[in-house]
Amino acid sequence: MQKRFEARGTGLRSFQVASRDELAARVGEADVVVVSGLWNNALLEQASKLRFVQSISAGVDQYGQDAFRAKGVRLASAQGVNANAVSEHAMALILAAARLLPQARDNQAKHHWRPMIGEIAQREDELGGKTLLVVGLGRIGGRLARLAKAFGMRVVGLRRDPAAGAEGADEVHAIASLRDWLPQADVVALTCPLTPETTGLIGSDALAAMKPTARLVNVARGKVVDEPALIAALREGRIAGAALDVTVEEPLPEASPLWDLPNVFITPHSAGETQRYEDNVIDILLENLERLQRGETQLRNQIV
């Protein structure tokens, strides 16, 4: 992050720390802190010059918002910083499942040239004309909808407030109508935040409502899915497969059945990883610094 910030040539003095102890020792020097996992709310008492914290992460659970308000320190998140990466990863998972790419990679490792498949249902498939159900039509879900439309898919989006817009989907409905749309979907993509309402959203009832030929793609959070119910549905062939970037416990335990199920494709919560991550955060940081310098009260991704 430090090197990428210096490359912008802002003229602003900056330094980088690599541990909690080093941050605690030097936080008193900083007017602005760009941080995520190293943050501790006790630092507010030591940071006499601090005026603004730019979170590197979209999540802000680690920040005591009331304490920030009491100290007059502003806080902004990095929400949306990896929307492109996550939506592209979700599209890649959808394509990988349709084109049987994990199986092809496995065959390559075994030096096996797979012959043409006579059984139609076992072949690679096309996405055009298929229905994608996007559960959570925010920045990530909306961009996924637009990507899927480029492949000729019909896209139905679900969001808490349908009046907020279709974001590129063919139509948008309330998340409460999930059960109505599951039987129509060829792919169900989860891009929603983890909330009390979405925890366990995809359970045994939801899985039973899906087509036997449908696939589940999860780039949201592991707890949006009832994992034992998903494992049972996959084992019994009640859905065709799942592509998972997130699981309930991470790293995924070695004993998890998900590792060895032939109809599961797993990536290690890497959807948000991108070579542009630091630059995307710095874009938000510099915009917020400019707003603060102009005396504006509203920040981009403002929390406090």
Report the catalytic residues: 221, 250, 269
- Per the listing, tokens 């990679």 go with 105
Cα gap 297→304, rounded to integer Å: 10
CA dihedral sign, ordered 201, 207, 213, 216: positive
- Per the listing, tokens 């920045």 go with 139
Q: Residue 132: which of 82, 88, 179, 190 has the closest Cα?
A: 190
CA dihedral sign, ordered 282, 287, 290, 291: negative
Contact by Cβ (8 Å): 41, 63: yes
Q: At what angle do helices 83-98 and 101-109 cross, to 10 degrees?
A: 70
178 phi/psi in degrees, rounded to 5: -50, -50
31's tokens: 């007017």
From residue 90, alpha-carbon distances to 62, 73, 149, 166, 219 in Å are 27, 36, 14, 18, 6
Q: Residue 266: which of 244, 248, 249 has the closest Cα?
A: 244
CA dihedral sign, ordered 193, 199, 201, 204: positive
* Residue 173 DSSP symbol: E
Name the CA dihedral angle for 226, 231, 232, 234, rounded to a multiple of 10 degrees: 120
